Chain A
Amino acid sequence: MSFRSAVVTFPGSNCDRDLAVALEKISGNECIRVWHGDADLPDNLDFIGLPGGFSYGDYLRCGAIASRSPVMRAVIDAANRGVPVFGVCNGFQVLTESGLLPGALLRNSGIRFVCRDVTLKVENAQSLFTSGYEAGQEISIPVAHHDGNYHADAETLDRLEGEGRVAFRYVGEVNGSARQIAGVLNAAGNVLGMMPHPERAIDAKHGGTDGRALFESAIRGLVGA
């Protein structure tokens, strides 16, 4: 089996290694590390990961400056060609700022940084990233963010719900997100952004392994392993 993945590192990313390790452990293949200033991505990628962290110190808006970096032009082109792109936490913020996903992530409604395990409900278990879960399944995944309050206008939210593009929803109040949305897909289903960190829940030593199925889903979906 060959699974060719890459993780982008922006200045201030701090979960890039975690994401690369998760991809390597679960796929058994090396994950290529890409720097934000690179104008091109490696050829023939099966999967692109945008990691959590505080790119550019969250200056201007979270993810705003990273989303305008050279490598993002290549990521946007790849996403538009159908290459799977997965953004976690700051990576989700980069995806909304780049326009690959709708909406925006605002400061948590309770002002505080939230760092704990949360329960997520799997809303769409048929996507590339979620087929390893059951619809309605509840999973435990850590969050660690200050700006995870998902916002979009009512029309956009209705469209996301109607098209099955809400991948995960929080069970209970976490950050004020509209309709408790924790993760959304693009229209084609090859781009997923989510605030919780599945890469921090892939080994029993993490305290849980509910994040594994997300990576297993994508890898199985892409290489049929």
Chain B
Amino acid sequence: MKVRVHVSLKSGVLDPQGRAIHHSLEGLGFAGVNDVRAGRLFELDVDESVTDEALDDMCRKLLANMVIENYRIEKVA
């Protein structure tokens, strides 16, 4: 089973990397970009036996830092 875990910074947490990327987009002449937030994507290949609860646990214990980040689990196939 393929699973994608999207990790993003919580709103209100400063994102210097997103800001630098935003600045660079503006430098390339792209207009109308209001904000950029950088995040992370993990692609996991897991056995069918792996439960939703276990996936959730993986996110909370390692893939995301719950102090600053949110996560979203997406089952691909």
Contact A64 B14 (CB under 8 A): no
Look across to chain B and name the residue whose beta carbon is closest to the beta carbon of A156: B67
Residue numbers in A under 8 Å from B67 (CB-CB):
96, 102-104, 151-152
Instruction: Tell me the nearest residue of chain A to B40, going by C-beta.
Output: A60
What is the predominant secondary structure among interface residues of chain B facing chain A? helix
- Whether B13 is near chain A, meaning CB under 8 Å from some CB there, is yes
Q: How far is the CA of A109 from the CA of B14 in the complex (A)?
A: 8
Q: Which chain A residues border B13 with CB–CB below 8 Å?
A: 106, 151
CB neighbours (8 Å) of B20 from chain A are 111
Q: Which residues does chain A contribute within 8 Å of B63, judged by CB atoms?
A: 60
| Interface contact A109-B65, CB-CB below 8 Å | no
Cβ–Cβ contact B14 & A151, under 8 A:
yes
Contact flags B48-77 to A (C-beta < 8 A → 1, else 0): 000000000000011101011000000000
B16 close to A68 (CB less than 8 A): no
Number of residues in A with C-beta < 8 Å to the partner?
19
Q: Select B16's contact among A103, A104, A107, beta carbons within 8 Å.
A: A107
Tell me whether A149 is interfacial, beta carbon within 8 Å: yes
| Chain B 20-64 interface 0/1 with A at a Cβ cutoff of 8 Å (1 = within) | 100000000000000000000000000000000000000001110
Bound complex: CA A111 to CA B14 (Å): 12
A106: chain B residues within 8 A (beta carbon): 13-14, 16, 68
Determine whether A42 belongs to the interface, using a CB cutoff of 8 Å to chain B: no
B14 lies within 8 A of A176 (CB)? yes
User: Judging by beta carbons under 8 Å apart, are A110 and B62 in contact?
Assistant: no
Whether A104 contacts B17 by the Cβ 8 Å rule is no
8 Å CB interface, B2-28 against A: 13-14, 16-17, 20
A149–B16 touching, CB < 8 Å: yes
Which of A97, A108, A149 lies in contact with B65, CB distance below 8 A?
A97
**Ordered nearest first, which 4 A-B pairs have the shortest CB separation?**
A104-B67, A104-B68, A107-B16, A111-B16
A-B contact pairs, 24 of them (CB 8 A): A60-B62, A60-B63, A64-B65, A68-B61, A68-B62, A96-B67, A97-B65, A102-B67, A104-B65, A104-B67, A106-B14, A106-B68, A107-B16, A107-B17, A108-B16, A109-B14, A111-B17, A111-B20, A149-B16, A151-B13, A151-B14, A151-B67, A152-B67, A176-B16
